[in-house]
Amino acid sequence: KAGVTQTPRYLIKTRGQQVTLSCSPISGHRSVSWYQQTPGQGLQFLFEYFSETQRNKGNFPGRFSGRQFSNSRSEMNVSTLELGDSALYLCASSLFGTSGHNEQFFGPGTRLTVL
């Protein structure tokens, strides 16, 4: 079974621009969660989508948004990029989502650098 894939793997943007990251979950998984990883903060939860609906959201500003398509693929968008948005963005998929105890499988991440 193919794992979670994320595209692109690396991205360089400048302040003020916007960016869209893509995540394809494991086949059959209906939940996709997004996390931001920075050296000082560890993994911070952004949001979770399940069956095309945002089911949970972390404490990030509205510049961070996402969506999920009917095939469970998900995109994350960051508008008006700031230097502090430079991070590794990780996507994770699971069968039932973060509600209920089931394992999340992570993709390799997208390394975003904002100049």
* Residues 21, 52: Cα–Cα separation, whole Å: 16
Greatest C-alpha distance within the chain = 39
Told to check if 45 binds another protein by CB under 8 A, we report yes
Nearest distance in Å: CB 84, another protein = 17
Told to check if 92 binds another protein by CB under 8 A, we report yes
Told to check if 19 binds another protein by CB under 8 A, we report no
Q: Which of 24, 29, 107, 112 binds another protein (CB under 8 A)?
A: 107
Q: Which of residues 50-89 bind another protein (CB under 8 A)?
A: 56, 58
